[in-house]
Amino acid sequence: MNGSRLELSRLSEEQRILNRSKRGWVWNQMFVLEEFSGPEPILVGRLHTDLDPGSKKIKYILSGDGAGTIFQINDITGDIHAIKRLDREEKAEYTLTAQAVDWETNKPLEPPSEFIIKVQDINDNAPEFLNGPYHATVPEMSILGTSVTNVTATDADDPVYGNSAKLVYSILEGQPYFSIEPETAIIKTALPNMDREAKEEYLVVIQAKDMGGHSGGLSGTTTLTVTLTDVNDNPPKFAQSLYHFSVPEDVVLGTAIGRVKANDQDIGENAQSSYDIIDGDGTALFEVTSDAQAQDGVIRLRKPLDFETKKSYTLKVEAANVHTDPRFSSRGPFKDTATVKIVVEDADEPPVFSSPTYLLEVHENAALNSVIGQVTARDPDITSSPIRFSIDRHTDLERQFNINADDGKITLATPLDRELSVWHNITIIATEIRNHSQISRVPVAIKVLDVNDNAPEFASEYEAFLCENGKPGQVIQTVSAMDKDDPKNGHYFLYSLLPEMVNNPNFTIKKNEVIVVLFVTLRRHKNEPLIIKDDEDVRENIIRYDDEGGGEEDTEAFDIATLQNPDGINGFLPRKDIKPDLQFMPRQGLAPVPNGVDVDEFINVRLHEADNDPTAPPYDSIQIYGYEGRGSVAGSLSSLESTTSDSDQNFDYLSDWGPRFKRLGELYSVGESDKET
């Protein structure tokens, strides 16, 4: 095949020949216009080999993309035709294979070779906005040239070949408010200070045109909706400069009296306002709160009203923006004021007592029907209805008191006895005669004062015993008296024998100033515990008076340590000054003390059993009365350890107790001085 060649030519195109040194093919790319739709198939090109002498013994074969369906070859002439309309945007090029064979034998005369048919672009696609329509926002009052958004269109044509895909943007609708960059499609504000309150939304129509925007180019459009967002550029403004409200004088505290509203052309938080009372004669009685939901101010009552005292009030209310923008501060203060007039309406009020409580005093021997006190009340209304008084009998079940229905004077209905009841608490009711539903109540405390209407009584019945060898001056009985009355200076009793005993020479009665001498004795001793010290052991005296046993050698006796220290019996001190109610329980026999056993432990066991035996008599009463406890305020009553002499005492304090005690202190002091002398 050396020296042979295959030529590929294309009609209406300048031939480009590729020389091959070892083959007979001459190749050239083929081009075909897209979207061609003539009545006949379009000739794309022609294949030819120099081996063909024109004897028609060579046949051309075509294979590859679209062979036989899109492209068809004349096997004799080698002409290639496009039998279908092509679309570059669907497929931009086709790769095919050409081969020359012997017509009769179909044997290849040359090896097959590939070539390309490219679909040549034409401007058959308009630009498209794939993401439209668009929405964007920009703050109102923005400066000129503020960027709003940008849009993008696409063109399916070949961006390399020609200007079929070169786009230029423009605004068809939306001037003079907005502008667009022709190449970047950035939309900007074209006017400064656009006011949302004047117009909030703008519709902009944007066009994208190919062929660089020249005539004949294709175009596509989209819409952009621009919304102006709010800024706080408007102050609040009251709908009216004067508001009128009326309120009954008996309205409950906290009740809403009325609402005031300041309108703001802004929206959202830019329209929020706070309300305050800045002036007026009712600033202490009224308050205004802000209702965030309704954006208005609610006027409420803070303190009670009184129609008879003041019938109207004037308030100055201010509404001010909560959020302000310093960029617009030059537009003036973002606040407004309004006047509020409040008229107080008269209401039928219940009677009012002259005092919230009353305290009355009456002697227990007061006469029946005597006046013990008076309550007064009035109707605070202008009409001033008469008042009728009564006693709430639920507070005076025994009906001990009455009240005059007209003047409120309280009288005694039944006798009083201070010793039975010192206080009486009743409730007085005041009712308007013209309107029985208007009532008031007031508590009245009545204190019953004491009079000496009770004779003294002995504290108990006394029975005295005297040995036949009693000595003269020996005290055989001390008696005391009591009185139900309660004199201011305390009781003072005179004691005497019965008339039939006055002339008896064997007995006399002596006044002992009561309890004062005992109290003086208490003050004369130090506050020390009654615990026997080692160097002052008085066990002999205790054994002599309280035990007839063998003294220290008696192992059955109590341990002296137990008598000295109450803690030795774990703090358990049984009552031995009262008769036990329990029945006698047989005790188990006690075994004799074995040799070598701890005597102290044995004594403690015996002591514990004796203390828990309710039938045991008080053999040793010093366990009960000999110890007063540690830290006693009164101190010790015993004189065993008393080292303070009577001369250490000052009895001047008795003069503060009254004349009789003062005299007693003087006598006692003189007696002590004489003793020392």
3-state secondary structure 281-346: CCCCCEEEEEECCCCEEEEEECCCCCCCCCCEEEEEEEEEECCCCHHHHHHCCCEEEEEEEEEEEC
0.75 surpassed by pTM: no
Query: What is the model's pLDDT at position 383?
Result: 81
CA-atom Rg of the chain in angstroms: 64
Helix (H) or strand (E) run with residue 353 in it? strand 352-353
Query: What is the model's pLDDT at position 77?
Result: 84
The yes-or-no verdict on residue 26 having pLDDT over 50 is: no
Average confidence (pLDDT) over 418-440 = 93
Query: What is the model's pLDDT at position 669?
Result: 63
Higher per-residue confidence, 117 vs 615: 117
| Same domain flag for 225 and 243 | no
Highest mean pLDDT among 104-113, 125-134, 325-334: 125-134
Query: What is the model's pLDDT at position 617?
Result: 60
Average confidence (pLDDT) over 319-329 = 91
Residue 565 falls within a domain, yes or no? no
Higher per-residue confidence, 453 vs 584: 453
Q: What's the CA gap between 310 and 559, in Å, rounded?
A: 90
pLDDT in tens, 561-576: 444 444 444 444 444 4
Q: Domain ends where: 168, 195, 229?
A: 229
The yes-or-no verdict on residue 481 having pLDDT over 80 is: yes
Query: What is the model's pLDDT at position 423?
Result: 95
Query: What is the model's pLDDT at position 130?
Result: 92
CB 44 within 8 A of CB 94: no
* Percent of the chain whose pLDDT exceeds 70: 73
Query: What is the model's pLDDT at position 90?
Result: 85
Confidence of residue 663 (pLDDT cuts 50, 70, 90): low
Question: Sign of torsion, CA 411 413 417 421?
Answer: negative
Return phi, psi of residue 483, to 5°: -140, 130
Confidence of residue 264 (pLDDT cuts 50, 70, 90): very high
Burial classification of residue 210, based on how many CB atoms lie within 10 Å of its CB (0-12 exposed, 13-18 middle, 19 or more buried): buried
| Same domain flag for 369 and 425 | yes
| Same domain flag for 133 and 217 | yes
CB 23 within 8 A of CB 3: no
Q: Provide the residue count of the chain.
A: 677
Q: What's the CA gap between 45 and 38, in Å, rounded?
A: 17
What would the two tokens of residue 105 be?
């034998």
pLDDT in tens, 606-646: 788 777 776 666 555 444 444 455 554 544 444 444 444 44
Please give the residue range of the domain that contains residue 94: 29-120
Average confidence (pLDDT) over 515-540 = 41
DSSP state of 251: P
Cis peptide before 659 (omega within 30 of 0): no
Higher per-residue confidence, 549 vs 481: 481
Q: What is the CATH number of the domain that holds 73?
A: 2.60.40.60
Q: What's the CA gap between 130 and 27, in Å, rounded?
A: 42
Confidence of residue 369 (pLDDT cuts 50, 70, 90): very high
Query: What is the model's pLDDT at position 164?
Result: 84
Strands 30-33 and 371-374: unpaired
- Number of domains comprising the chain: 5
| Same domain flag for 445 and 459 | no
Query: What is the model's pLDDT at position 579?
Result: 43
Q: How many CB atoms lie within 10 A of CB 448?
A: 22
Residue 659 falls within a domain, yes or no? no
Q: Domain ends where: 120, 144, 178?
A: 120
3-class secondary structure, 321: strand
| Same domain flag for 488 and 417 | no
| Same domain flag for 341 and 370 | no
The yes-or-no verdict on residue 539 having pLDDT over 90 is: no
3-class secondary structure, 455: coil
The structure tokens 């066990």 sit at: 539
Query: What is the model's pLDDT at position 40?
Result: 82
Residue 492 falls within a domain, yes or no? yes
| Same domain flag for 423 and 459 | no
pLDDT in tens, 33-84: 877 777 788 888 888 777 766 656 888 889 998 888 888 888 888 888 888 8
Q: Count of alpha carbons within 13 Å of 125, Cβ hemisphere only?
A: 21
What would the two tokens of residue 465 be?
């015993």
Residue 102 falls within a domain, yes or no? yes
Kindly report which listed range (101-105, 215-219, 419-423, 498-502) carries the lowest average pLDDT score.
498-502
The chain-wide mean pLDDT, for the chain, equals 78
CB 300 within 8 A of CB 255: yes
Residue 571 falls within a domain, yes or no? no
Query: What is the model's pLDDT at position 265?
Result: 93
659-676 and 516-523 are packed helices; what angle lies between their axes, rounded to 10 degrees?
50
Average confidence (pLDDT) over 584-591 = 43
* Percent of the chain whose pLDDT exceeds 90: 40
Q: What's the CA gap between 175 and 170, in Å, rounded?
A: 11
Q: How many CB atoms lie within 10 A of CB 294?
A: 10
Name which of 379, 439, 382, 428 is nearest 405 in CA terms: 428
Secondary structure of the chain: what % helix, strand, coil (to 5)? 15, 30, 55
Query: What is the model's pLDDT at position 3?
Result: 34
Name which of 242, 189, 2 is nearest 110 in CA terms: 2
Confidence of residue 284 (pLDDT cuts 50, 70, 90): very high
| Same domain flag for 167 and 150 | yes
The structure tokens 């009728």 sit at: 388
Return phi, psi of residue 263, to 5°: -80, 145
The yes-or-no verdict on residue 293 having pLDDT over 90 is: no
Higher per-residue confidence, 2 vs 537: 537
The yes-or-no verdict on residue 209 having pLDDT over 80 is: yes
Kindly report which listed range (154-158, 160-164, 269-273) carries the lowest average pLDDT score.
160-164
Please name the amino acid found at residue 654: L
Q: How many CB atoms lie within 10 A of CB 7?
A: 19
Average confidence (pLDDT) over 392-401 = 95
| Same domain flag for 175 and 275 | no
Residue 508 falls within a domain, yes or no? yes
Q: What's the CA gap between 287 and 277, in Å, rounded?
A: 7
Highest mean pLDDT among 112-126, 279-293, 567-581, 587-601: 279-293
Average confidence (pLDDT) over 193-216 = 93
Q: What's the CA gap between 626 and 618, in Å, rounded?
A: 13
Distance linking the first and last C-alpha atoms of the chain: 176
| Same domain flag for 336 and 380 | no
Residue 275 falls within a domain, yes or no? yes
| Same domain flag for 136 and 152 | yes
The yes-or-no verdict on residue 31 having pLDDT over 60 is: yes
Residue 607 falls within a domain, yes or no? no
| Same domain flag for 72 and 136 | no
Q: Domain ends where: 200, 229, 258?
A: 229
